Amino acid sequence: MLKHPQIVPNNGVLQKETWFWSWRRYFRKAKIPWTVQNLTSLFDTEKISKLKVSIETGQLYSDTVTGSGDPMDFWDNRYWKHIHQNNASSKEPLVTTPNLLRHLVPNIKLILVLREPIERLYSHYYQWNGKTPEDFHERVIQSIKILTSCTKKNSIRACVYDPKIIKGLRVPLYASIYHVHLKNWLDVFPRKQMFILRTEDYKRNEREYLLEIFRFLELNDVPEESMRKIKSSEKVYISKKKKKMGPMLNATKNILAKFFKPHNARLVALMNDSKFDWHDSYLV
């Protein structure tokens, strides 16, 4: 997307990640907590503030857009007790990242790409310096046990946002329980401000989805040559270790399919779209 001439990248990690909303404002990945001024310093204000005059209306407008792409902003709310509007003694947050974001940028446009949760978890494990499919299997069993024990006494939302639970999980199951996180965003932003798609669909038809996303962002169509360059851009996050170690064990996939099945069903209900159960991907 950053290859589109109207999109201005930021100066963060990979020209897209700021790590602000979920991490840096709470000390994580920063020696001192970041402020909004630290965040805005990552953006090219000169480029994005240039205005043009509309020939039709005579009004000033900007034909560029900018933003950030931080995956953890969707699923990492472990520091919610540090948000002043929340009661630190409560089990669940009242205010999460989307509430804060709306306060700063109420008309923001949001793009969410959801990957099949089991494969997403496996990739996340290797980003955590994972070792082997067998090690992953053992960690999955232990993590499911911890989370299942928690949900016997608490809501699933309370469990996936409990800092102690998050720290205790040996694989990040909480990040793939999409319905919990998505509801936070849908409770704050109107659906028309969100473009939600599956990774699998995007990979099957990159061109059409890119065109849809550009229209969603109200950007100009790009020439076919530019579109080819965009599609051929190197994918930055490729886990070489995951590729080397091979696929997860079938036994692990079966266990995770059973675990995620009710959560995917709740996502289907939330989205009112049956494709978000990834039924064609499962062995059980």
Instruction: Output the pLDDT for position 283.
Output: 41
Residue 20 buriedness (CB in 10 A; 0-12 / 13-18 / 19+): buried
Please report whether residue 233 resides in a domain.
no
Please report whether residue 145 resides in a domain.
yes
* Averaged pLDDT for residues 234-257: 80
What distances in angstroms separate CA 47 from CA 5, 55, 226, 260, 281, one per listed residue? 12, 21, 21, 44, 43
Please report whether residue 101 resides in a domain.
yes
* Averaged pLDDT for residues 231-253: 76
Q: Which two tokens stand for residue 69?
A: 């792409």
End-to-end CA distance of the chain: 36
Q: Which helix (H) or strand (E) holds 61?
A: strand 60-61
pLDDT digits (tens, 9 = 90+) for 66-84: 899 999 999 999 999 999 9
Please report whether residue 80 resides in a domain.
yes
Instruction: Output the pLDDT for position 177.
Output: 98
pLDDT digits (tens, 9 = 90+) for 78-120: 999 999 999 999 999 999 999 999 999 999 999 999 999 999 9
Whole domain around residue 105: which residue ranges?
A: 71-198+240-281
* Averaged pLDDT for residues 18-43: 85
Q: Which residue has the higher pLDDT, 40 or 143?
A: 143
Q: Most confidently modeled of 122-131, 240-249, 266-275?
A: 266-275
Count of H helices and E strands in the chain?
A: 14, 6
- Asked if residue 169 has pLDDT above 80, the reply is yes
48 Cβ contact partners less than 8 Å away, ≥ 6 residues apart: 8, 62, 64, 65, 66
Look-up of token digits 């998050």: 166
Q: Which two tokens stand for residue 182?
A: 């998505």
The rounded distance, in Å, linking the Cα atoms of 284 and 274 is 17
Please report whether residue 277 resides in a domain.
yes
DSSP assigned state of 172: -
Using a pLDDT cut of 90, give the percent of the chain over it: 64
Q: What is the pTM of this model?
A: 0.89
Buried/exposed 246-259: b ≥16 CB within 10 Å, e otherwise? eebeeebbebbbeb
Instruction: Output the pLDDT for position 29.
Output: 66
Of the given ranges (32-41, 203-212, 234-243), which has the lowest mean pLDDT?
234-243
Q: Which residue has the higher pLDDT, 199 or 223?
A: 199
- Asked if residue 284 has pLDDT above 60, the reply is no
User: Which is it for strands 52-53 and 60-61: parallel, antiparallel or unpaired?
Assistant: antiparallel
Q: Which residue has the higher pLDDT, 269 or 13?
A: 269
Instruction: Output the pLDDT for position 192.
Output: 97
Number of domain units in the chain: 1
Instruction: Output the pLDDT for position 241.
Output: 67
Look-up of token digits 């001439």: 5
The rounded distance, in Å, linking the Cα atoms of 249 and 67 is 38
Please report whether residue 234 resides in a domain.
no
CA-nearest of 152, 138, 148 to 177 is 148
Please report whether residue 271 resides in a domain.
yes
What distances in angstroms separate CA 15 from CA 67, 200, 214, 217, 223, one per listed residue? 10, 24, 18, 18, 23
Please report whether residue 232 resides in a domain.
no
Contact in structure between 259 and 145 (CB atoms under 8 Å) = no
- Total length of the chain: 284
Question: What would the 3-class secondary structure string for 184-246 be?
Answer: HHHCCCCHHHEEEEEHHHHHHCHHHHHHHHHHHCCCCCCCHHHHHHHHCCCCCCCCHHHHHHC
Instruction: Output the pLDDT for position 282.
Output: 53
* Averaged pLDDT for residues 216-242: 74
Q: Which residue has the higher pLDDT, 207 or 267?
A: 267
Instruction: Output the pLDDT for position 81.
Output: 95
Residue 274 buriedness (CB in 10 A; 0-12 / 13-18 / 19+): exposed
Instruction: Output the pLDDT for position 183.
Output: 98
Work out the pLDDT band at 235, boundaries 50, 70, 90: low
Q: Which residue has the higher pLDDT, 54 or 45?
A: 45
